[in-house]
Chain A
C-alpha cells in the first residue's frame, strides 16, 4: 500500500512538470499574480458562454475553447443572439440596430462604439436591459435537472421491473433517499406530516449535492456558489415553511407567551418579542442562502488560489507543496459538497418541522 502510494505521488510529480515549466514564463511576477486574481474572479462569476479553457496564441490574442450560449434580453421586445457576438467582451454586439456591450460580466446597452458612461462612483450609467440569458450556470442547472430526472425516474422504474428492489445506480441512491426520509425528514417533521415535504427535501438535497460536485470538476462551474441560485433555493424553503405553517406556528410568532401572562403584561414585552420573532422568520432562510453561497464560494477561492500558487512559486519545493495542498483541499471539498447539501436539507426539514408542529396545548403549553 505504502509503495503504491509513493508510486502514485511520483507519477503526479511527473504530471506536474509541464505546468511548472509553463509557470516559468517570461511574464513579470506581479502580472502573473493579478492575472490569477482576475482569473479566479472571472471563474467565480457566471459566464455568457460555456468556455472550457482559454490560451494565448503567439501573436498575443486570446483563444477560447468552448461553445457560445444564447443571450436573451428584454429590450422593448425579445432580443435573442448568440454570445459569440460579444467575442468575450472584446466587441460590441449589434442586433436590429441596438448595440450591447459586455462590461464586467454584465450586459449594457451602448452606442455603436460601445461607450460606457460612468457616474461619480465609477458605476456605469448605461441602460441595463432585462437579462434572461441561458448562461453557463443555467446550462449546468439544466444538465443537473435532466440528470436527476433520468436517474430517479430510472430508480422509480426499477422497482416496478424488479419486484420492489432497486437495480443499477438506484442501489447507490436508494439508501440516500431512505436516509433523508428516516434521519432528516421523520425526526424533524414527524411521521404524520413528513410525506408532504419529502419531494422538496429530496430534490433540494440531490440538486445541491450534484451541483456542488459539478463545481469541483474541471468544467469549472460555480452554480451553488452563486448567490442568485442559493437565494432562489432559500426563498423556496421560506415559502414552503410559511405557507404550510399551522396555527401553532403563527401563534408562536405573534403570541409566544400564550396564556401564561395577562394581556397587559404581554404588551410591553411583545413590543420587543414580536419583531424578534418576525425577524427570525426571515433570518432562518437568509442563513441558509448565505451558508451555502459562502461555503461553496470560499471552497472555490481556496482551491483556485492554491492551484494559482503553483504558477507563482517557480521552485521545486513550493509548487509540489501547493499541489499537495490543493489536492488535500479538493478531497475536503468533496466532503464539503455533501455536507453543505446535507445541512441545507437538514435545516429546511427543521424549519418545516417548526411550521407543521401542532402542540397538545393541555400537556405541552408550559414546556415551551
Chain B
C-alpha cells in the first residue's frame, strides 16, 4: 500500500483527468452524438420501412380479396345472364314451335275444308254432267228405240240391267 502511494504520480493523474475530460467532451460533440443519432435515425428508418412494407402487404391482400370478390360477382352475373338467355331461347323456340304447329294445323284444316268443298263441287259437277250425258244417251237411245218396238224394249231392259249393276 505504501509502495502504491509512493508510485502514485500526481502529474500523470492530472494529465489523465484533463485529457480524458477533454476527449470526452470532444468525442461527445463530434463523434458519439452524431454516431448515435445517425444510428437511431437509421433504426427508425428501418422500422418505418418495415411497417410500411407490412401495410403495403395488407393493402395488397385487401385489394386481392376485392378483386376476387369482383371476379366472383362478374362470373355469377355472366352465369345468370347466360342462363336467362338460354331460358329465353328455349322458350322462344317452344313458342315458335307451338305457333308453327297451330298454323300448320290451321292450314291443313283449311286445305281439308277447301278440298271438301272442291270435292263436293266436283261431285255435283260430275252428277250434272252424268245426268246430262245420261239424258242425252237416253234421248239418243229413245230416239233409236222408238223406231222399233222390240228393240225399244230390249234396250230398256239392258239399260236397266246396267243401271242396277252400276
Contacts and interface: CB of A to CB of B under 8 A. Distances in A.
Interface of A: 45-46, 72, 130-135, 137-138, 141-142, 145, 148-149, 152-153, 155-157, 159-160, 164-165, 174, 177-178, 181, 195, 198-200, 202-203, 207, 226-229, 231-233, 235-236
Contacts of A159: 34-35, 38-39, 42
B19 to A, nearest CB: 5
A319 B136 CA distance: 175
Nearest to A206: B27
Nearest to B36: A198
Nearest to A155: B35
B19 A226 contact: no
A153 B38 CA distance: 13
Contacts of A202: 27, 32
B16 A200 contact: no
Interface stretch (B4-12, B81-89, B118-126): B4-12
Contacts of A156: 30-35, 38
Interface of B: 4, 7-17, 19-24, 26-28, 30-36, 38-39, 41-42, 45
A198 B11 CA distance: 28
B83 to A, nearest CB: 61
B36 A207 contact: no
Nearest to B22: A145
B14 A132 contact: yes
Contacts of B20: 141, 145, 203, 207, 232-233, 236
A152 B35 contact: yes
B21 to A, nearest CB: 8
Contacts of A133: 11
B42 A164 contact: yes
Contacts of B11: 72, 130-133, 135, 138
18 contacts: A130-B10, A135-B15, A138-B11, A149-B23, A152-B32, A156-B31, A156-B33, A165-B42, A174-B35, A177-B39, A198-B36, A199-B24, A203-B24, A203-B27, A203-B32, A226-B9, A228-B12, A232-B16
Nearest to A201: B32
A138 B8 CA distance: 14
Contacts, number: 126
Nearest to B9: A228
Given A130-B11, A156-B34, 15 more contacts: A72-B11, A132-B15, A135-B11, A135-B12, A138-B11, A138-B15, A141-B19, A141-B20, A153-B31, A159-B39, A177-B35, A177-B36, A199-B32, A202-B32, A228-B16
A177 B32 CA distance: 9
Nearest to B46: A164
Contacts of A148: 23, 27, 31
A136 B11 CA distance: 12
Which 6 A-B residue pairings sit nearest by Cβ, starting from the closest? A152-B31, A159-B38, A156-B34, A199-B28, A228-B13, A232-B16
Contacts of B28: 199, 203
Given A131-B11, A159-B38, A198 B16 contact: no
Contacts of A145: 19-20, 22-23
